[in-house]
Amino acid sequence: MARQRRVPVHEAAEEAREAAEAERLPEATRPESLEVEDLREHLPGIEPDRQVTDWGRSERVEGVLDRTLVDFLYHYWFRVSVEGVDGVPDGNGALLVSNHSGALPPDATMIAKAIKEEHPRPRPLHITVEHFFKGYPGFAMLLPKIGAVPAHPANVHRLLYDESQLVLVFPEGRKGSEKLYKDRYRLRRFGRGGFVAAAMRAQVPIVPVCVVGAEEAQPIFAHLRLLQKLTGLIYVPVTPTFPLLGPAGMLGYLPAKFAIRFLDPIPTDQWGPEPWEDSGLVQTVAEQVRDLIQRNLLDMLSKRSSVWLG
């Protein structure tokens, strides 16, 4: 019953790997396991002839992009260096939580690519995006194909719990990606802690992720409110290449050096049964995760001697 005790997050992070490896709770002792375990057995089977998953993810589109643009950006443009990727669970579900930046944020794709390239057991990463994109032409078509999923709690739960997948969330949301260059690397509010509740419900660990470089790759100097209203987009930023080079300027990334640090997983089954009902606890954990990422970001930045060379 030692697990019932509330453990501060940073201690918990150290225990995480042991806990994950040594004694995994027997299935039957998990709450609600009997009822829901049945449902997991009834997930639709995989049809090998299909190239698109039930979520709309297309192997073909993703593969083409991965081999061309993403590969180039990862290896040659951003020259991504990665630490601690081995800590990402290799079989079960896990919720990756990261800081967010860049007008058309390149961080999500780079984290996904890092797991694909460096992890001993590469797995697809599902990226949660705002519902807005499901309703905007073009985005609605492309984003699901490359692994984006609308950030609905039910979607996150199904991916994490029922399908044991990796899910990436940006709790800052658009507040992170629309912030101006002068506010770089200062984390915004972490939503309302919904990501913590989601991980608790799904009984999967939280993996904090810190990304350095995305802020400088596409700095935002100002916002064009009028154009935003006319296009109905969530924001229209002024970046070094946009609107100077037209719409294609949105893809104009500066060659900043990227560094991604995966922190140790934080187990979410340490707070007894149904911890998500305790909103105070949820908020506290969310705040602790935010602190942890902020501290690590500052640590990475203090060691960086050049924005472009790392």
Partner 1 sequence: MDTRRILITGLSTFWGGRLARALEDDDAIETIIGVDVDDPTVALDRTEYVRVSNQHTLIRRIVAAAEIDTVIDTRLAVDSTVAPPRLAHENNVIGTMNILAACSGPESPVRKIVMKSSAHYYGCERDDPAFFTEEMRRPHPPKTPIERDIVEAESAVRDFADKHPAVTVCVLRFANTLGPGLRTSHTRLFALPAVPCILGFDPRYQFIHEDDIVGCLEHAARHDLAGVFNAAADGVLALSEVADLLGKPLAPVLPPWGTGLVAKPLRRAGMRFPSELLNQLRYGRGLDNRKLKTSGYGYRYTSREAVQQLAKQLRLAPILRDAREPYRYEQEVEEFLRYSPSVRRGQH
Q: Which residues bind partner 1 (CB under 8 A)?
A: 38-39, 42-45, 47, 49-52, 54-56, 58, 131-132, 134-141, 144-145, 149-150, 152-155, 158
**Nearest distance from C-beta of residue 126 to partner 1, angstroms:** 11
**Nearest distance from C-beta of residue 46 to partner 1, angstroms:** 10
Do 257 and 307 contact (CB within 8 A), yes or no?
yes
- Secondary structure class of 19 (helix, strand, coil): helix
By residue count, the chain amounts to: 310
Judged by beta carbon, residue 140 or residue 224, the one nearer partner 1 is: 140
**Nearest distance from C-beta of residue 64 to partner 1, angstroms:** 15
Judged by beta carbon, residue 145 or residue 304, the one nearer partner 1 is: 145
Judged by beta carbon, residue 2 or residue 154, the one nearer partner 1 is: 154
Do 97 and 296 contact (CB within 8 A), yes or no?
no
Distance CA 266, CA 274 (A): 17
**Nearest distance from C-beta of residue 44 to partner 1, angstroms:** 4
Judged by beta carbon, residue 141 or residue 309, the one nearer partner 1 is: 141
Distance CA 143, CA 63 (A): 14
**Nearest distance from C-beta of residue 211 to partner 1, angstroms:** 26
Q: What b/e sequence results for 40-66 when a residue is b if at least 16 CB atoms lie within 10 Å of its CB, and e otherwise?
A: eeeeeeeeeeeeebebebbeebbeebb
Distance CA 254, CA 217 (A): 4
Judged by beta carbon, residue 24 or residue 229, the one nearer partner 1 is: 229
